[in-house]
Amino acid sequence: MTEFTYDVVIIGSGASGTTVAFEAQAAGLKVAIVEERSWGGTCVLRGCDPKKVLVGAAEARNLSTRLRGKGIKEEATISWTDLMAFKETFVEDVPESRLESFQEAGIETFFVPASFQNENTLQVGNDILNAKKIVIATGATPNTLKVEGQEHIQTSDDFLSLEKLPDSVVFIGGGYISFEFASIALAAGRDVHIIHHNSEPLKKFDPDFVAALVATLKEEGIHFHFDTDITKITKNSEKLHIEGKNSFSLETDLIIGATGRTPNIAHLALEKANIDYTKKGITVNEKLQTTNHAHIYACGDVAATKGAPLTPVVSMEAALVAKNILGGNEKIDYPAIPSVVFTSPKLASIGISMEEATANPEKYQIKNHDTTKWYTYRRTNEKIALAKIIEDRKTGQIKGAHFLSEEADYMINYVAILMKANLTLADLQSVIFAYPSPASDLTALN
């Protein structure tokens, strides 16, 4: 056993832990980072980045399908093997290069699980680390559905490294991961099902646009089974058999569970350091300090903050933790956060919900546009393109927006800038956008 002492020890090398580590090191502090799985964390290895590579192939296939007979002869087909090999080029070097960049920066690294011994001391494998400040940035892992035969359910981690995509795939859960993966598997020509326990998937998005997305994906071939509670999964020969309440029954080759994520706190021995937590994660104040200790911080997916578990959000939290470690006294203040479901079409939202906007008609004006027939969307033969802009009635400033189209991710980012700058759509009349482009449609949403 060796004992080390640091100014800051960070547990977890994902987007949040990495941000804190580099900032603290750059300011001259003695920093160590601990990782138990692979250097780099979820986004780059098992989340956003590999997923978006697969989304790219789905986009290419879907565009070729939409333009077939309109200048394109053949529908593109996805080779899963080639696609996974391409995806791997984005992932395979990450752990080593992340480790090297820590080492080059002078950040000390420990590749073992960390747990608390007390509020200043961590057990890290056989070593003991003493630290003036500790940052818990341990992220989250996929939930397991508690059901008979649950061992047959695989996770998003498995989906993103599948060597072979079988003919039939069932996704359990009505969140964005299920929808995105289902859209990818559909583009790859598979028989795809989504099972959800209630009838409200993608709860954080505009219900009208969710309904339009579900209808479009249904038409494209995804089978939705809402209000379906799974009771049992069995495996006979090569097939998996799903049973549910009300005589539900379905046979498939692969089941991916995407029923939420649990903060990684179970193995941290938080009670030894008297750190409070709930099932939503580690309890923190607005400075992202844990409730009983000003010197222990938590950020990212493991922290029970108001921020969504999304990479740009966890990076923002981490940047604040770094500032506070370096003597700051800042409170987290989230701007409007855009979120996107990378299906085909994509669904995006930012700012206040439609529910809030419609409940306060004296305060908000909703501009509702069916843009399907607009040039931008006809050019690529999109089936559906919808937009809603929510404005403050008095100032005209944008308070929220919702999009459903292949360009929804770009549109929501433009709106994020407008919201940050407190600009109105009318202000854009004096901006010249490159034409034709999705941005040049913005002024017409007024």
Ligand X SMILES: Cc1cc2nc3c(=O)[nH]c(=O)nc-3n(C[C@H](O)[C@H](O)[C@H](O)COP(=O)(O)OP(=O)(O)OC[C@H]3O[C@@H](n4cnc5c(N)ncnc54)[C@H](O)[C@@H]3O)c2cc1C
Which parts of this chain interact with ligand X (CB under 6 A)?
A: 11-17, 34-37, 41-43, 46-48, 51, 113-114, 137-139, 156, 177, 264, 267-268, 300-301, 309-312, 314
Q: Give every strand in the sheet of 168-172, ordered side by side.
A: 153-154, 254-257, 168-172, 191-195, 223-225
Q: Which residue, 302 or 425, is less far from ligand X as judged by CB?
A: 302
Q: Which residue, 11 or 186, is less far from ligand X as judged by CB?
A: 11
Q: Residue with structure tokens 């994660």?
A: 281
Q: Which residue, 37 or 399, is less far from ligand X as judged by CB?
A: 37
Q: Is 382 annotated as a binding residue?
A: no
Segment (H or E) for 408: helix 408-420
Nearest Cα neighbor of 243 from 225, 231, 228, 256 is 231
Q: Is 179 annotated as a binding residue?
A: yes
Residue 428 CB, nearest distance to ligand X (Å)?
27
Which residues touch 71 (CB under 8 Å, ≥6 apart)? none
Q: Is 177 annotated as a binding residue?
A: yes
Which residues touch 36 (CB under 8 Å, ≥6 apart)? 111, 112, 113, 114
Q: Which residue, 40 or 149, is less far from ligand X as judged by CB?
A: 40
Residue 296 CB, nearest distance to ligand X (Å)?
14
Q: Is 260 annotated as a binding residue?
A: yes
Q: Give every strand in the sheet of 248-252, ordered side by side.
A: 230-236, 239-244, 248-252
Residue 216 CB, nearest distance to ligand X (Å)?
20
Q: Is 435 annotated as a binding residue?
A: no
Q: Is 175 annotated as a binding residue?
A: yes
Q: Which residue, 339 or 397, is less far from ligand X as judged by CB?
A: 339
Q: Is 363 annotated as a binding residue?
A: no
Q: Residue with structure tokens 């944008």?
A: 398
Rounded CA-CA distance 10/317 in Å is 14
Burial (CB count within 10 angstroms: exposed 0-12, middle 13-18, buried 19+), residue 208: middle
β-bridge partners, 416: none
Residue 47 CB, nearest distance to ligand X (Å)?
3
Q: Is 244 annotated as a binding residue?
A: no
Q: Which residue, 16 or 289, is less far from ligand X as judged by CB?
A: 16
Residue 82 CB, nearest distance to ligand X (Å)?
21
Helix axis angle, 176-187 relative to 207-220, nearest 10°? Answer: 20
Residue 263 CB, nearest distance to ligand X (Å)?
9
The DSSP code sequence of 47-97 is SHHHHHHHHHHHHHHHHHHHTBTTTB-S-----HHHHHHHHHHHHTTHHHH
Q: At 35, give phi and psi (nearest 5°).
A: -140, 140
Residue 127 CB, nearest distance to ligand X (Å)?
13
Task: Give the ranges where 300-351 is alpha helix by DSSP (H).
Answer: 311-325
Q: Report whether 345 contacts 198 (CB < 8 A).
A: no
Q: At 189, give phi and psi (nearest 5°).
A: 85, 20
For the chain, how far is it from start to end, CA to CA, in angstroms?
66
Buried b (16+ CB within 10 A) or exposed e, 153-186: bebbeebbeeeebbebbbbbbbbbbbbbbbbbbb
β-bridge partners, 301: none
Q: Is 173 annotated as a binding residue?
A: yes
Q: Which residue, 357 or 412, is less far from ligand X as judged by CB?
A: 412
Q: Which residue, 40 or 438, is less far from ligand X as judged by CB?
A: 40
Binding site listing for FAD: 52, 301
Binding site listing for NAD(+): 173-180, 260
